[in-house]
Amino acid sequence: MKSLENGKNISKPEITNISEHGFWILLRKKEYFLPFAEYLWFLNARISSLINVELIHDHHLYWPELDVDLSTEILTHPERYPLRFK
């Protein structure tokens, strides 16, 4: 007997905590910290805009109210993607 194929991952990204230094996002049972010093796009964002995040195509995070998008690869391997804010 064969097991059925796993279904589509329906878990959504969730902002779990926000501090003066940054915020934590839970994605696929793993939590990532995004410091404001490195992700300046979020520094002056309203909380309602920050928590409004979508996972697109299972590998792309998008904040529609802020017009910010990040690949999940950036969270997994930040050393490969040095961020530069202009």
- Domain layout of the chain by residue ranges: 18-80
What CATH architecture applies to the domain 18-80? 2-Layer Sandwich (3.30)
What lies within 8 Å, CB to CB, of 86 at 6+ separation is none
Nearest 5°: phi and psi at 74?
-65, -40
Q: Is the pTM of this model over 0.85?
A: no
Q: Is 15 helix (H, G, I), strand (E, B) or coil?
A: strand
Model confidence pLDDT, tens digit, residues 28-50: 899 999 999 989 999 999 999 99
Give the separation between CA 25 and CA 53, rounded to whole angstroms. 10
Residue 53's pLDDT is 97
Cα–Cα nearest to 71, from 49, 79, 81: 81
What lies within 8 Å, CB to CB, of 68 at 6+ separation is 41, 42, 62
